[in-house]
A and B are shown apart, each in its own frame.
Chain A
Amino acid sequence: MTDNLMPSSVPQAAPVETTDAEPSIVVASQWQLMWWKFRKHRMAMISLIVISVMYIVALGAGFFAPQSVDTYSRRYTQAPPMQIHWFDNGVFAPFVYAYKQETDPRTYARVYTIDEEHKIPLGFFVRGDEYQIGLHGVPISPINQLAITTDIHFFGAITPGDPFYLFGTDDVGRDGFSRLIYASQVSLSVGLVGVFLSLILGIVLGALSGLLGGIIDNIIQRIIEILRSIPNIPLWMALATAVPPRWDPVYVYFGITIILSFIGWTDMARVVRGKFLALRKEDFIVAAELDGVPRRRIILRHMIPSFLSHIIASATLAIPGMILAETALSFLGLGLRPPIVSWGVMLQDAMNIATINNMPWLLIPGAAVVITVLTFNFLGDGLRDAADPYHV
């Protein structure tokens, strides 16, 4: 947000009793005040850092993942997670122990035992699978050339091809950790894109509803009520079956995101409408009206800036719901499907109890979901508190 959006007449959190009695409080913009308040919310600050790290890792997935998303090793199927030993005889030299494997004569299952004789050295900035980083995912031809191809990985086995499975492997011997990182690209962006779409729909319809009132308001409110009367998960399930299985993964991704925001916008619209209705009676709006300020200017310069922060907080709190919904749908096989990897798609492998019993590490993507949702909730709480000028 740029500063020119901020009229100086914004409700100055006027006689605030600050602990650090700086004169800067008087001239601080609304956003600066919010930031100062946000900083005090410790869980929200921690969450902001965690979320930033997750998004950075997701953006540079190729670099941070030790392997590529579909590299598999037939020798290491269903291998359990390995533990990293950071020091070797007191010297910093990370390594993992290799696995010895035998086949259980009765069940034919592979049994892995730690081979303490055999160490696999690990290092930073090692060579491995080739990957691209940049805009290669965009399905438009000149843009997707803006990517570099390299094979340097942040962390991994020093000798390329050595087994290093931090979170174990799945049925076909793919590295769970690498797939988790690649999956975060999809899982983390679904929430953002979905909330962005609901935000646009919600703000437009909510504003129409709140500003025009009358019959339009009535119609929009009834539509919202009806959409909310249909239980969301069954409705999502029904809509998701309409996405043809043979579609290109990119279309499936956007199809599912649009379906998620199909219900998500109703919350946004309610918040926006409520804010418009409440603001209409505020003194500073009435004053502006009496001064003959044009309606457009009142909306853009006075109303929107004063509730934008609140909307941002609501949007942040809506992201976890989207992430959870995507995970649930993909888990049921109705949402995203392979070759797309998301946390929900990964959890699909863990659907039956026999599999989980053999490979409990397949549940790790679930932990990723929980952490993400938790941090977004804290971040949203912090933002909401910070955005509320009456909240101390």
Chain B
Amino acid sequence: MAKYILKRLLYVIPTMFIISIVVFTTIQLPPGDFVTQMIESMRNQTGGTTWSPEFETAMRDRYGLNEPMPVQYAKWIGNILLYGDFGYSFQNSEPSQRIIWDRMGMTLVVSVSAFVFTWMIALPIGVLSAVKQYSIADYFFSFVGFIGLATPGFLIALVLMFLAFKYGGVSLSGLFSPEFENAPWSIERVIDMVKHMWIPMIIIGVGGTAGLIRVMRANLLDELNKPYVETARAKGMPEWKLLLRYPFRAAMNPFVSTIGWALPGLVAGEAIVSIVLNLPTTGPVLLNSLLQQDMFVAAGFLMLLSLLTIIGTLISDILLAWLDPRIQYA
């Protein structure tokens, strides 16, 4: 077992290495670079002043954009590994790691709470739907689940924002009240955040919840028809005890293996919802950095989001190997 875990851990290194190349190449794909963007926006602001090519070259030299790609890559990845330095944010004129870590932290908080919400809602409903198959509740939740699966998160966010604004007169955007927006961390600020958290939590979780309900229902239905359930019932075991002790546990197995995939899904879904709701998470900054070709910020986000996914998968694999004796981990 220990050997398996170690092997899986070591495996992360080459994976992250290749991902870093993919990410860096992707970030370089758009035509032009940050200097092109900057000069264009300066030109728009000043009404068509042209900038000398020498200025452009000087700017590129300053940001190290003139060097060949492999050199740029080596410098970038070297700084991350050696100093935890994610490079310079051209747009904010400051090192990008501050903004990256800040936002990643919030993303993790929002995603994890959405994840907990998803499980807390989906598992009981899934069990209910399976045990009371073809009941009104089953049909209702199946229907809601299908709608939830088919509706993009940002659309739910828009509709909720509209309804809250129209009938409640409240604005749902942001994760803090105005007075806490830029305040330093304190107990009050955390409480304020928790108050605002439930809207994004529900919106981001809804798609996942719908999927999870369906999976739980199907898994449990498969188990409920197996002979061992019948045997336990025949021996006079109370129904709820029977349910929780055997079929439920068996039906949970595939869930554990998908923890790893659920988290990245939430992180990805969060990216768009947070742009609509204007949350202080990765989404809005990532979008902006991509549009402005603030490449080190964008690359840093993509790297860390990928790392999050890989860690999620790792946790799943280990949990599964630990839980399910049928899995060979040679």
State the A residues within 8 Å of B (CB): 225-235, 237-239, 241-242, 244, 320, 324, 327-328, 331-334, 347, 350-351, 353, 356-357, 360, 363, 366, 369-371, 373-374, 377-378
Contacts and interface: CB of A to CB of B under 8 A. Distances in A.
Contacts of B269: 233
Interface string B240-275: 000000000000000000000000100111011001
B22 A230 contact: yes
Contacts of A347: 155, 158
A239 B267 contact: no
A233 B268 contact: yes
A331 B154 contact: yes
B310 A374 contact: no
Nearest to A231: B268
B26 A235 contact: yes
Given A230-B19, A353-B162, 7 more contacts: A226-B22, A231-B268, A234-B282, A238-B290, A351-B276, A357-B162, A377-B149
Interface residues of B, number: 49
A328 B152 contact: yes
B147 A374 contact: yes
B42 interface: no
A238 B302 contact: yes
29 contacts: A229-B309, A229-B313, A231-B268, A231-B305, A231-B306, A231-B308, A233-B269, A234-B282, A234-B301, A237-B286, A238-B302, A239-B26, A241-B30, A241-B291, A242-B26, A324-B152, A332-B287, A353-B162, A353-B165, A360-B162, A363-B155, A363-B159, A366-B152, A366-B159, A370-B151, A373-B151, A374-B146, A377-B146, A377-B149
Given A241-B290, A363-B162, A332 B275 contact: yes
Q: Per DSSP, are chain B's interface residues mostly helix, strand or loop, or mixed?
A: helix
A392 B53 CA distance: 72
A229 B272 contact: no
A375 to B, nearest CB: 9
Which 9 A-B residue pairings sit nearest by Cβ, starting from the closest?
A242-B29, A373-B150, A233-B268, A231-B268, A374-B150, A366-B155, A356-B162, A241-B290, A230-B306
A325 to B, nearest CB: 9
Nearest to B151: A370
B48 interface: no
Contacts, number: 127
B155 A369 contact: yes
A229 B15 CA distance: 9
A353 B161 contact: yes
Identify which of A229, A244, A363, A374 gathers the most chain B CB atoms within 10 Å of its CB: A229
A311 to B, nearest CB: 21
B31 interface: yes
Contacts of A229: 15, 19, 264, 306, 309-310, 313
A231 B162 contact: no
A363 B308 CA distance: 34
Given A241-B291, A331-B154, A360-B162, A234 B268 contact: yes
B293 to A, nearest CB: 8
Interface string B158-194: 1101100110000101000000000000000000000
Contacts of A320: 150
A331 B287 CA distance: 12
B18 A238 contact: no
Contacts of B159: 363, 366
Contacts of A333: 291
Contacts of B282: 234
Given A229-B313, A332-B287, A353-B165, A234 B147 contact: no
B290 A363 contact: no
A324 B156 CA distance: 13
A235 B23 CA distance: 8
Contact of B271 (A237, A350, A378): A237
Contact of B147 (A230, A237, A328, A370): A370
Nearest to B313: A229
A226 B22 CA distance: 9
A371 B15 CA distance: 39
Interface in B10-26: 15, 18-19, 22-23, 26
A367 to B, nearest CB: 9
A231 to B, nearest CB: 4
Given A242-B29, A353-B162, A370-B150, A231 B155 contact: no
A363 B161 CA distance: 12
A360 B282 CA distance: 28
B256 to A, nearest CB: 19
A228 B161 CA distance: 32
Identify which of A226, A242, A327, A369 gathers the most chain B CB atoms within 10 Å of its CB: A226
B40 to A, nearest CB: 11
Contacts of A370: 147, 150-151, 155
B298 interface: yes
Contacts of A226: 15, 18-19, 22
Contacts of B224: none
A378 B214 CA distance: 13
Given A229-B15, A238-B27, A363-B159, A369 B152 contact: yes
A230 B162 contact: no
Contacts of B309: 228-231
A232 B162 CA distance: 28
A241 B31 CA distance: 9
A228 B312 CA distance: 12
Contacts of B306: 229-231
Interface string B295-330: 000100110011011100100000000000000000
A324 B153 CA distance: 10
Contacts of A374: 146-147, 150
B284 to A, nearest CB: 10
A362 B284 CA distance: 23
Contacts of B26: 235, 238-239, 242
B325 to A, nearest CB: 23
A332 B18 contact: no
Contacts of A369: 150-152, 155
B164 to A, nearest CB: 9
A226 B183 CA distance: 39
